[in-house]
Amino acid sequence: MSPMRLSAFFTEQVWVRRGWAACMLWPISLLTWLWVQGQHGLYRIGWRTALRLNVPVLVVGNVMAGGTGKTPVVMGLVKHFKAQGWRVGVIARAYGSVDESVAEVQHESLADQAGDEPLLVKISCDVPVFVGRERAKAGLALLKAYPDTDLIISDDGMQHAALWHDIAICVFDDRNVGNAWLLPAGPLREPWPRKPVLGVHQHVLYTGNKHPTHAWVATRRLATVARNGLGESQDLRDWSEQPVQALAGIAKPEAFFQALEQAGLKLAKRWPMPDHATLSHWRADNGLPIFCTEKDAVKLWRHVPSAWTVPLVCELPPQLLETLDTELQQLSSKHGQKTA
């Protein structure tokens, strides 16, 4: 069974209900519980201490295995806070990278060095982005290189207890919590709901169509204009009369394909790829125009600059943004940085 099929088997079958497969794996989930409790326990009893940076840290993460749409949320937050006058920096782990040491992401960085999502954030938002397996070290490196930074956003890292965060946004998609069991019997990385932590503002955001009635929901849609690596732009409606092909190396490739079809495109060929696929050797010789996600474009444009990408527009709920603005103004005074 291929990695993609195995992932789909767990995501779409095992983790959605407490069936026989999940029940067989449940005893192993006790080990996950012990590991999580042990790691958090070391910080609770003071044997380990989380690093507190001198600026507020907002982490956008999840408790689910697999992608839930965190990076578009991060990009939306960065653009919002930049517009509010904050000097934002982003830290992340370079998933898909062969190097896990701390490094700054540049516009010309390669995805197999910087990670595809951090590279996308750098190109789209034009803010300092540092990657590293240890986010605390990445945060310190960012502040050393850019001392005027007054807000750090961490793309993922809710389970990274070594770095203190002041605000946490937990992102869920259509799966919600699945069967609510821990890995590997269920999709949860840690028990949910999380225990409240004194001094940490915790929020929940949904990115899918299935969510509680009064939840905060981010609306997502494709932009109406596609662009390629040659600097060209074209309205999506111009492609409605001809067959095209589409590639997606994300957690849910079919979601991207369906969105393209809903926009009026006729997909003659689909190329579903594993999340964070390198794409360095991907070629298509059928002559059809190729469409891909923004995350794939930062890799594909290196050798297929004619590929078209359609940006994902993520609109965050105004009530959430207002709440975050208030919390950050209070936090910034405590940290000695930006004040109201």
Which of 93-107, 284-298, 325-339 tops mean pLDDT?
284-298
> Taking the CA of residue 256 as centre, how many other CA atoms within 13 Å lie in the half-sphere pointing to its CB?
25
The pTM for the full model equals 0.92
Average pLDDT over residues 19-37: 96
Report helix, strand or coil for 11: helix
Residue 322 to residue 301: CA distance in whole angstroms: 37
DSSP state of 306: T
Distance (Å, rounded) from C-alpha 149 to C-alpha 66? Answer: 30
SS3 327: helix
Cα angle: 146, vertex 150, 151; to 5 degrees: 105
Q: Strands, E, within 174-249: which ranges? A: 201-206, 216-217, 219-222, 225-228, 233-235, 243-248
Q: Which of 73-77, 167-171, 178-182, 210-214 has the lowest mean pLDDT?
A: 210-214
The confidence band for 171, taking pLDDT boundaries of 50, 70 and 90, is very high
Q: What is the pLDDT of residue 331?
A: 86
Instruction: Report residue 86 as tokens.
Output: 């904050």
Cα distance between the two ends of the chain: 56
Q: Are 275 and 268 in contact (CB under 8 A)?
A: no
pLDDT at 336: 54
Distance of alpha carbon 165 from alpha carbon 163, whole angstroms: 6
Residue 338 has pLDDT above 60, yes or no: no
pLDDT at residue 221, as a whole number: 93
Q: Beta partners for 313?
A: 221
pLDDT class of 339 with cuts at 50, 70, 90: very low
272 strand-pairing partners? 248
Please state, in angstroms and rounded to a whole number, the distance separating the CA atoms of residues 193 and 173: 16
C-alpha span between 112 and 99 (Å, rounded):
8
237-253: b (≥16 Cβ within 10 Å) or e: eebeeeebbbbbbbbbb
Is 247 strand, coil or helix? strand
The CA distance from 338 to 328, in Å, is 9
